[in-house]
Amino acid sequence: MRPARVQLLVTCLVDRFFPGTGESVVRVLERAGVTVSVPAGQTCCGQPAFNAGHDDEARTLARYTIDLLSASDDPVVVPSGSCGDMVIHQYAALLADDPEYGPKAQALAARTYELTIFLTRVLGVTDVGAQGTGTISYHPCCHGLRGLGIAGEPKALLAGVHGATTCPLPEAEVCCGFGGLFAVKMSNISGEMLARKLDAIEACGADTIAVTDVSCGMHMNGGLRRRGSKVRVEHIADVLAGEAPGAKERS
Amino acid sequence: MNAVDVPFYRRVEDALTKTRMRQAVRHTSGRAMESRRAAIAELDSSDAIRDQARAIRSRTLAALDQHLDTFATNVEKNGGTVFFAETGEDAVEYIRRLARDRGIRTIVKGKSMVSEEIELNPVLELDGFEVVETDLGEYIVQLDGDKPSHIVAPILHKTKEDCARVFKEKLGASDEDVAGVPQMTQLARRTLRKAFLKADMGITGVNFGVAETGSVTICTNEGNGRLSSSLPRVYVAMMGMERLVPTAADLGVMLEVLGRSGTGQRLTVYSNILSGPRRPGEADGPEEFHVVIVDNGRSKVLASELAEILYCIRCGACLYACPVYQQIGGHAYGSVYSGPVGSVLSPALAGIRAFHDLPHASTLCGACREVCPVRIDIPRMLLRLRAEGVEAGESPQWVSLGMKVLGWLGTRPRMFNLAGRVAARAAGLAASDGWIRELPLHLSGWTASRDFPAPAKESFQERWAKRHGGAS
């Protein structure tokens, strides 16, 4: 059944760093005919703590987020493969021994979707009425690609953007080197991985690279800016919301 | 395991300056991935055979003690001798004593990662035995006083020019001898042939032991494994305790995934199945056939949450696939086992304290899991080891503190939001055009090669609340 309402888990990075992207997500979902609610009091899903091996803190944040999203039975949409993977796969594993939250985690996982998966597989939409310009390419973020199995969905959505063309990205499935704290703790390796990714991005001929995660996006954009490149990485919601590429609002 | 006296970040800094090494690693890794892809594409269903291979590994390890018993019984039935070495030292001591008792002078070795793991060569050399590595890559590593940087391709980090230099310096080779790869291979062949003929002991690793037949299988592309195992009068097979398959039928599946994943071949050029010493009337084969089964921490791993890493068949595909390995090469890992599998196996065998950095040398991108022929969930185990590191007090203070703060703030949305506003205010002072060029202290690594975005003054939730009047 096609859901009429969804809860948006906006993610802490979108919330504090890229609020415009959060609004793009809402716009795209509403345009697809879905009513969006934003459960108040959202913080962090706990992925950074889990990623760093601090499982206790990750569990604390998981329980908090589970409670927040369990007040309603509406499906949950996350504009991130990484946070999506956390809620969909890692919560249940982290809380496997918790008799109360283990089952809650599983129930939440069953109704949580990454944005592009929700649009294409649940709503069955690839044309969201988006307007664009220029050439758009796509970098598959690792956790979405290999954690959630996001495959052709974002490309199908991008192909549905009116007025824009798409082009392939060489070595698209090679990680950009973000990896959360990895980019700070092992910043030199991360920087070399980023350079490799940016070389491919600049060579592919696109004006815009669409991604499913603002985290990888800010990593690549940070590198592109440092290089003085004109190419910009955009969250796919910003592309699909029909804003002119490169002009995303970030007040 | 190797002693790690240089900190990981230093080894990485060093590796990143080696431009030629890095080009060699990236080039060869790329080619290996291409070959693998082509070899896998030939199969009707690569997923099906990988599932089958995984099931074999899982079944084997679930009853490893039984399979080891069967294996040992059958090796002895075939006329061989089995020695269970609980530690690396036990294994070294057994081989050393055997060599002394048998009056051995020259030992030829086929490739064996477990012998690298237990550091066998230096002990034997100290005892006065001549030890000659016969795998071409290992031979060059040995001549150069270097270390292997990949579990399958030991000289992945060397260019052919590097190899030419080694042959000229160490063997006095002429320009003609090193004019190309075929010439260098011929030179090594001529030199190694002499070693094979005079050796009285051969030592090789084992790709798979077969429990039901008591056989050991060696896969090579140079035939050095079969020369090492059949020419000298004493043969020693060294295998990690987990390298077993129950039946010959299982072996067939494993050989297929090993060849295709490791080297992009349908099968390795030589797959030798050895079942005991020379029998009466046979033309060749060793007089003595010893199998040294090495535990060296594996029992402990088998009983832990990391048991799955023992499924590994040492194909090396995860190293080729790893974008981190492709940047830093194998030596930076400071262990004989490098790359993703090494980042799990090294701390699993030697303890998290010795290798606490390795589980963090990954973005958890999952490329390793994607190519693994037995579908080991390496990212999951890296995460488990990161958690073990935290429990062992190996997490840097600033990270631990940061995570505590995150955990505290994360359950207090007002405080969380306030912290965000404060950060936005502070960043606003440092940013220009919404981006920060230089972050302080521990975060400075980020801005060494990329800008960092300044947080927004007003968060999405604040904007939403304004528009929708508080809660949704």
Chain A residues near residue B308 by CB distance under 8 angstroms: none
CA–CA dist A115, B69 (Å, integer): 53
- What pLDDT does A1 receive? 78
Cα A91 off chain centre by: 17
In a domain, B14, yes or no: yes
CA angle B254, B259, B262 (to 5 degrees): 110
In chain B, residues 370-399 whose CB comes closer than 8 Å to chain A? 370, 383, 385-390, 395-396, 399
In a domain, B61, yes or no: yes
Q: Are residues A84 and A143 in the same domain?
A: no
The answer, for A118 touching chain B at a CB cutoff of 8 Å, is no
Q: Are residues A86 and A173 in the same domain?
A: no
Q: Are residues A144 and A95 in the same domain?
A: no
Residue after which a domain boundary falls, among A122, A156, A174: A122
Radius of gyration of chain B (CA): 26
Please answer whether residues A41 and A11 qualify as being in contact, where contact means their C-beta atoms are separated by less than 8 angstroms: no
Q: Least CB-CB distance to A53: which of B386, B450, B458?
A: B386
CA–CA dist B464, A125 (Å, integer): 26
SS3 labels along chain B: CCCCCCCHHHHHHHHHHCHHHHHHHHHHHHHHHHHHHHHHHCCCCHHHHHHHHHHHHHHHHHCHHHHHHHHHHHHHHCCCEEEEECCHHHHHHHHHHHHHHCCCCEEEECCCHHHHHCCHHHHHHHCCCEEEECCHHHHHHHHCCCCCCCCCCCCCCCCHHHHHHHHHHHHCCCCCCCCCHHHHHHHHHHHHHHHHHHCCEEEEECCEEECCCCEEEEEECCCHHHHHHHCCCEEEEEEECCCEECCHHHHHHHHHHHHHHHHCCCCCCEEEEECCCCCCCCCCCCCEEEEEEECCCHHHHHCCCCHHHHHCCCCCHHHHHCHHHHHHCCHHHCCCCCHHHHHHHHHHHHCCCCCCCHHHCCCCCCHHHHHCCCCCCHHHHHHHHHHHHHHCCCCCHHHHHHHHHHHHHCCCHHHHHHHHHHHHHHHHHHCECCEECCCCHHHHHHHHHCCEECCCCCCHHHHHHHHHCCCC
Q: What is the pLDDT of residues A61-83, one digit of tens each?
A: 999 999 999 999 999 999 999 99
Amino acid, res. B156? L
In chain A, residues 83-102 whose CB comes closer than 8 Å to chain B? none
Task: Say whether A188 and B12 touch across the interface (CB within 8 A).
Answer: yes
pTM of the full structure:
0.95
Amino acid, res. A221? N
Q: Is B415 exposed, middle or buried (0-12, 13-18, 19+ CB in 10 A)?
A: middle
Q: How many residues does chain B have?
A: 472
Sign of CA dihedral A45, A50, A55, A56: negative
In a domain, A73, yes or no: yes
In a domain, B224, yes or no: yes
Q: Are residues A20 and A69 in the same domain?
A: yes
B223: its two tokens: 């035939």
Chain A residues near residue B452 by CB distance under 8 angstroms: 218, 222
Residues β-bridged to residue A234: A210
Q: Are residues A110 and A168 in the same domain?
A: no
Residue after which a domain boundary falls, among A99, A122, A145: A122
In a domain, A127, yes or no: no
Chain B residues near residue A174 by CB distance under 8 angstroms: 323, 367
Residue after which a domain boundary falls, among A122, A148, A173: A122
CA-nearest of B255, B216, B11 to B110 is B216
Q: Are residues A75 and A155 in the same domain?
A: no
In a domain, B373, yes or no: no
Task: Say whether B434 and A250 touch across the interface (CB within 8 A).
Answer: yes
CA–CA dist B224, B202 (Å, integer): 10
B419: containing domain: 397-468
Sign of CA dihedral B282, B288, B292, B293: positive
In a domain, A176, yes or no: yes
CA–CA dist A102, A100 (Å, integer): 6
Q: Are residues A72 and A156 in the same domain?
A: no
CA–CA dist B30, A174 (Å, integer): 12
In a domain, A165, yes or no: yes
In a domain, A130, yes or no: no
Domains: count for chain A: 2
Q: Least CB-CB distance to B399: which of A52, A177, A218?
A: A52
CA–CA dist A182, A194 (Å, integer): 12
Q: Are residues A74 and A157 in the same domain?
A: no
Does residue A28 surpass a pLDDT of 50?
A: yes
Q: Are residues A10 and A113 in the same domain?
A: yes
Task: Say whether B461 and A42 touch across the interface (CB within 8 A).
Answer: yes
- Residue found by looking up tokens 């973000």 in the block: A178
Q: Are residues A111 and A152 in the same domain?
A: no
Write out the H or E segment, with its range, that includes residue A118: none
Which CA distances in Å does A12 have to A18, A87, A214, B375?
9, 14, 10, 32
For residue B116, count other CB atoms closer than 10 A to its CB. Answer: 22
The answer, for A182 touching chain B at a CB cutoff of 8 Å, is yes
Chain B residues near residue A199 by CB distance under 8 angstroms: none
In a domain, A191, yes or no: yes
A227: containing domain: 135-240
Task: Say whether B449 and A187 touch across the interface (CB within 8 A).
Answer: yes
Task: Say whether B365 and A142 touch across the interface (CB within 8 A).
Answer: yes
Q: Searching chain B, which residue's CA lies closest to the CA of residue A249?
A: B456
Q: Is B419 exposed, middle or buried (0-12, 13-18, 19+ CB in 10 A)?
A: middle
Chain A residues near residue B424 by CB distance under 8 angstroms: 16
Q: Higher-confidence residue: A57 or B429?
A: A57
Q: What is the pLDDT of residues A153-176, one digit of tens each?
A: 999 999 999 999 999 999 999 999
Please answer whether residues A76 and A108 qualify as being in contact, where contact means their C-beta atoms are separated by less than 8 angstroms: yes
Chain A residues near residue B443 by CB distance under 8 angstroms: 184
Number of helices followed by number of strands (H, E) in chain A: 14, 8
Residues contacting A124, CB < 8 A, separation 6+: A2
Chain B residues near residue A41 by CB distance under 8 angstroms: 413
Average pLDDT over all residues of chain A: 95
The answer, for A246 touching chain B at a CB cutoff of 8 Å, is no
Residue among A14, A57, A80, A85 with most chain B CBs within 10 A, to mutate: A57
Q: Are residues A105 and A181 in the same domain?
A: no
CA–CA dist B300, B134 (Å, integer): 32
Cα B242 off chain centre by: 15
CA–CA dist B266, A142 (Å, integer): 30
CA–CA dist A30, B286 (Å, integer): 77
Q: What is the pLDDT of residues A205-215, one digit of tens each?
A: 999 999 999 99
Task: Say whether A61 and B406 touch across the interface (CB within 8 A).
Answer: yes
CA–CA dist B404, A56 (Å, integer): 9
CA dihedral B339, B342, B344, B349 (to 10 degrees): -170
Q: How many residues does chain A have?
A: 251
The answer, for B443 touching chain A at a CB cutoff of 8 Å, is yes
In a domain, A111, yes or no: yes
CA–CA dist B259, A58 (Å, integer): 40
Chain B residues near residue A14 by CB distance under 8 angstroms: 460
Q: Are residues A149 and A94 in the same domain?
A: no
The answer, for A48 touching chain B at a CB cutoff of 8 Å, is yes
Q: DSSP class of residue A97? A: T
A119: its two tokens: 């649009």
Residue after which a domain boundary falls, among B276, B299, B322: B299
In chain B, residues 319-358 whose CB comes closer than 8 Å to chain A? 323-324, 327-328
In a domain, A246, yes or no: no
CA–CA dist B106, B203 (Å, integer): 11
Please answer whether residues B270 and B226 qualify as being in contact, where contact means their C-beta atoms are separated by less than 8 angstroms: yes
In a domain, B96, yes or no: yes
The CATH number given to whatever domain includes residue B130 is: 3.40.50.10420
CA–CA dist B115, A217 (Å, integer): 45
The answer, for B401 touching chain A at a CB cutoff of 8 Å, is no
Q: Calculate how close chain A gets to B338, using CA atoms only, in Å.
A: 15
Q: What is the pLDDT along chain B (472 residues), one digit of tens a residue?
A: 554 678 999 999 999 999 999 999 999 999 999 999 999 999 988 899 999 999 999 999 999 999 999 999 999 999 999 999 999 999 999 999 999 999 999 999 999 999 999 999 999 999 999 999 999 999 999 999 999 999 999 999 999 999 999 999 999 999 999 999 999 999 999 999 999 999 999 999 999 999 999 999 999 999 999 999 999 999 999 999 999 999 999 999 999 999 999 999 999 999 999 999 999 999 889 999 999 999 999 999 999 999 999 999 999 999 999 999 999 999 999 999 999 999 999 999 999 999 999 999 999 999 999 999 999 999 999 999 999 999 999 999 999 999 999 999 999 999 999 999 999 999 988 998 999 999 999 999 999 999 999 999 999 999 999 999 754 4
In chain B, residues 15-74 whose CB comes closer than 8 Å to chain A? 16
In chain B, residues 89-108 whose CB comes closer than 8 Å to chain A? none
In chain A, residues 15-34 whose CB comes closer than 8 Å to chain B? 15-19, 22-23
Task: Say whether B461 and A23 touch across the interface (CB within 8 A).
Answer: no
Residues contacting A89, CB < 8 A, separation 6+: A109, A147, A148
CA–CA dist B1, B112 (Å, integer): 14
Does residue A248 surpass a pLDDT of 50?
A: no
Task: Say whether A179 and B406 touch across the interface (CB within 8 A).
Answer: no
Complex-level ipTM:
0.95
The CATH number given to whatever domain includes residue A148 is: 3.40.50
- What pLDDT does A251 receive? 36
CA–CA dist A179, A191 (Å, integer): 11
Domains: count for chain B: 2
Q: Are residues B295 and B426 in the same domain?
A: no
CA–CA dist A229, A211 (Å, integer): 18
Q: Are residues B423 and B289 in the same domain?
A: no
The answer, for B470 touching chain A at a CB cutoff of 8 Å, is yes
CA-nearest of B356, B381, B364, B263 to B322 is B364
Q: How many CB pairs under 8 A join A and B?
A: 210
For residue A100, count other CB atoms closer than 10 A to its CB. Answer: 10
Task: Say whether A52 and B420 touch across the interface (CB within 8 A).
Answer: no
Does residue A15 surpass a pLDDT of 70?
A: yes
Does residue A243 surpass a pLDDT of 70?
A: no
Q: Are residues B287 and B426 in the same domain?
A: no
Q: Searching chain B, which residue's CA lies closest to the CA of residue A18?
A: B456
